[in-house]
Structures are given as C-alpha cells and as structure tokens.
C-alpha cells in the first residue's frame, strides 16, 4: 500500500536521537513484545517531555537493535526493516503525543514483512496507542 505524503489524516513523525530520550521511554516500563518487535511507549503528558524537541511533530520514534540481533550488518538491516514497518503503520494508525521505541529482536530480520507490520500494529493496539478509526480517516487495518 502506498502512503500519500500530503494526506491530512497522517501524523508527522519525529525521531528520538539522544540516549536520555530512550531511557525516559524505557523508564515508564510500558512495553509490549511481539515476535518481530518490542514496542516501548511514553506519553508526552508525562513529566519531563521537552517541548522544544516535540515541536513540529505529532509523534517521535526511536529504533534500536542490540548485539543479540547479530553483527553490524544484521543490526542495520533490522533497523531499516523497523523504519519501513513504522512508515507503513504509525503515520495512519498511531495516536499523536507519544514517544515510541521500537526494539529489534532476533526474528526481525527473517520475519516476513507483512507479519512484522502486523506485529507492530498489534503492539500499538495492546498498548492503547491507536487512533480511533474515524479520526484516522477510516484507515483501520
């Protein structure tokens, strides 16, 4: 499915880049594990969210892969696959006002892409981070 970048129902994605931002998301201890990805969540209304960092975006995402995933080539591939899955799901399904960290697992590299996208969507649903279908432009999966 191709996503139109000028679609008003899509939300703008920002990036988590600093270690402190990743640790803040992990510190909330809200996560959901799927076979292809682990999703950690933090709402912006929680204390410590930097207003300057969140300016210009509706949602921020960080990607990580540890050495458990494999060598540097495997980790980079896992992060690329997570970015592609996030582009497929987050813009149309995720609720705004969140920081998300997507953690690659060993199976992230070999899992079929459709299953990886389904894992991410299911994790968002379990964490309560999905926009209502009417607000998302009727784009329910």
pLDDT digits (tens, 9 = 90+) for 95-114: 888 899 999 999 999 999 99
Q: Looking at per-residue confidence, does 30 or 134 come out higher?
A: 30
| Domain covering 19-127 in this structure, CATH number | 3.30.230.10
- Residue 140 is predicted with a pLDDT of 44
pLDDT band at residue 119, thresholds of 50, 70 and 90? very high
Residue 64, Cα to own-chain centre: how many angstroms? 11
Strand boundaries in the chain, DSSP class E: 13-15, 31-33, 37-43, 59-64, 98-104
Burial of 39 (0-12, 13-18, 19+ CB in 10 A): buried
**Lowest mean pLDDT segment, chosen from 11-25, 40-54, 89-103:** 40-54
Mean pLDDT estimate for the chain: 84
Instruction: Give the pLDDT confidence score for residue 124 in this predicted structure.
Output: 92
Position 141 confidence tier, pLDDT thresholds 50, 70, 90? very low
CA–CA separation, 24 and 99 (whole Å): 9
**How many helices and strands in the chain, by DSSP H and E?**
4, 5
- Residue 65's pLDDT is 95
Q: Alpha-carbon distance 112 to 47, whole Å? A: 38
Q: The tokens 């279908």 sit on which residue?
A: 133
More confident residue, 33 or 13: 33
Sequence ranges of the domains in the chain = 19-127
């Amino acid at each position: 499915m191709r996503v139109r970048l000028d679609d008003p129902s899509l939300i703008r994605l920002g990036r988590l880049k600093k270690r402190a931002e990743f640790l803040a998301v992990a510190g909330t201890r809200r996560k959901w594990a799927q076979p292809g990805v682990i999703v950690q969540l933090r709402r912006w209304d929680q204390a410590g969210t930097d207003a300057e960092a969140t300016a210009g975006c509706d949602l921020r995402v960080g990607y990580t892969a540890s050495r458990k995933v494999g060598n540097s080539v495997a980790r980079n591939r896992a992060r690329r696959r997570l970015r592609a899955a996030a582009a497929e799901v987050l813009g149309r399904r995720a609720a705004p006002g969140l920081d998300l960290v997507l953690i690659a697992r060993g199976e992230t590299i070999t899992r079929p892409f459709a299953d990886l996208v389904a894992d991410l969507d299911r994790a968002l649903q379990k964490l309560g981070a999905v926009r209502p279908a009417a607000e998302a432009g009727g784009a329910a999966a």
